[in-house]
Structure formats: C-alpha cells, structure tokens
C-alpha cells in the first residue's frame, strides 16, 4: 500500500500509479519554456500532465512504489522530478539563446532602455527580445517540435525507469555543454545585426570627426536605431533558419541525454 488506503482496491492502485507518473511529466512541463510560462494556468499544466500520464500508463509498464510515502518512495519521486526538470531545462536553454542575442543587439542599438514585462518569463525583457521570443514561439510549435519533445518525455521512461533516475555526472556535464552551445547560437543570431551596427557606429564616428559641430550622441543614436531595424528586416530569413536549427538542436540535446 502507499500509506493511504481509501478502500478502492485496484482502482486506487491505478490512481497512485497515475500520480506517480505525473511527477516526471509535471516537472518537465514546469521547466519547459512554453508550458511553464506564467501565463499558462496551473490547472492547464495539471490537465496536460494528466493526459500525457494516462498515455504513459497505457504504453509502458511503469509501476508506483509499494510504499510511496516511505523514504524509498519519496526518493523515487524526487528522482522522477529530477529527470522531468532536466528534460524541460534543456529546452529552456535553447529558448534562452534569442534572449541573449537580443541583449547584445539592443545594447548596440541603444534600445536596452526600452524594456517591457515578458509575459512568458514574468521578468523584464528588451523590446528586441520580445520580437525574438515571438518568432521562437511561433516556429517551435509550427515545426511540431513540441510533439517530438513529448515523445521524448514518454521515451525517457524506457531509458530512465523509476528507481534508476540518477543521471550521473557525465549527463550533468552534457547539460553544461548544451549551455555552451546555447551561447554559440546566441552569437550566431546576433552576429549579422551586430556587424551592421559596427559599420553604422564607424560611419557615425567618421562624420563626427569630419564635422565636429555635429553632436555625436544626437547623431549616433538615431543612426544606430535605424541601422539596427534595417538589419533586423534584412536578416529576418536568416533568423528563421537559425530558430529552426535551434529547435532541432534542442531535441537533439534531449536525445543525447538518453545515450
């Protein structure tokens, strides 16, 4: 028994099995960037976790621990939460790349002063970051990547069965390596616009030296903003390709965790 017996027999055993499976799925949803947003009501996350847990219970022979409220049972539940959070955190790392790129671009344009509350993360984000997050939020589900991520969450029960959920130092090293890859992707996203802004700043510096009467600040800021907006418009197809590759790399990183 699980410490609490309501007298429903096999039905109650299936209920505890469902609750046990929901711990991993729920942890993944909480850490994932789209499903774990503050704008998503907790009731919706619970319903999605329950729906996925029902499928897991049907497709896999996962069983709840005999004594879920014992020390061994609590440790198994904590292991399930650890795996779920890791699966969602890897996806979160991929979604952080456009935000870092937006910080770099906004600093070059002088737009970091224009911040707004990000409804997804619940924190302040520059205006360029809002644009990048909208693109990422549209492209990721359009590619069906969210369905593939759910499939990987279900597959994790075969790779990390309950009771064997300690990831080990080598897998934590992989997660740290994914963070490094995220920074490289952020640089690739910001590089085209940053190069244009560098040219704009050089032109503004030459003009200020040629005509000292011109105010560098009144001239450089509008040129930087206009040049950055033009560069964002020109590099829009490149941004879409990079976000598509970023979505594929996020799923590849989750698969690498299963090796």
DSSP 183-240: HHHHHHHHHHHHHHHHHHHHHHHHHHHH-TTS-HHHHHHHHHHHHHHHHHHHTHHHHH
Average pLDDT over residues 93-112: 78
- Higher-confidence residue of 56 and 258: namely 56
Q: Which residues are bridge partners to 126 per DSSP?
A: 115
Which pLDDT does position 86 carry in this prediction?
Answer: 85
Average pLDDT over residues 67-90: 81
The proportion of the chain whose per-residue pLDDT surpasses 70, expressed as a percent, equals: 83
Helix 169-210 with 71-109: angle, nearest 10 deg: 10
Residue 144: Cβ within 10 Å count: 10
Of 103-107, 115-119, 191-195, 218-222, the one with minimum mean pLDDT is 115-119
Of 48-57, 175-184, 212-221, the one with minimum mean pLDDT is 212-221
Tell me the backbone φ, ψ of residue 220, rounded to 5 degrees: -75, -35
pLDDT above 60 (res 2): no
Q: Is this model's pTM higher than 0.85 or not?
A: no
Q: Which residues are bridge partners to 116 per DSSP?
A: 125
65, HSE (Cβ side, Cα atoms, 13 Å): 20
Q: Tell me the C-alpha distance between 12 and 67, whole Å.
A: 13
């Amino acid at each position: 028994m699980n410490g609490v017996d309501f007298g429903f027999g096999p039905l109650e055993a299936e209920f505890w099995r469902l609750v046990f499976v929901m711990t991993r799925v729920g942890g993944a949803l909480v850490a994932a960037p789209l499903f774990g947003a503050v704008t998503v009501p907790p009731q919706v996350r619970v319903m999605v976790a329950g729906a996925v847990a029902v499928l897991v219970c049907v497709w896999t022979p996962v069983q709840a621990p005999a004594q879920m409220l014992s020390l061994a049972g609590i440790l198994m539940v904590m292991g399930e939460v650890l795996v779920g959070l890791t699966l969602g955190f890897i996806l979160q790392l991929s979604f952080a790349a456009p935000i870092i790129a937006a910080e770099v671009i906004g600093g070059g344009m002088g737009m970091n002063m224009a911040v707004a509350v990000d409804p997804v993360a619940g924190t302040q984000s520059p205006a360029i970051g809002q644009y990048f997050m909208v693109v990422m939020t549209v492209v990721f589900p359009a590619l069906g990547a969210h369905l593939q991520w759910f499939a990987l969450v279900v597959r994790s029960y075969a790779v990390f069965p309950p009771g064997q959920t300690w990831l080990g130092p080598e897998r934590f090293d992989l997660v740290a390596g994914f963070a490094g890859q995220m920074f490289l992707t952020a640089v690739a996203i910001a590089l085209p616009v940053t190069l244009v802004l560098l040219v704009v700043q050089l032109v503004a510096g030459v003009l200020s030296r040629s005509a000292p009467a011109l105010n560098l600040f009144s001239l450089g800021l509008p040129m930087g903003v206009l040049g950055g907006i033009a560069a964002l418009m020109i590099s829009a197809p490149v941004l879409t390709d990079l976000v598509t590759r970023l979505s594929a790399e996020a799923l590849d990183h989750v698969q690498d965790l299963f090796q």
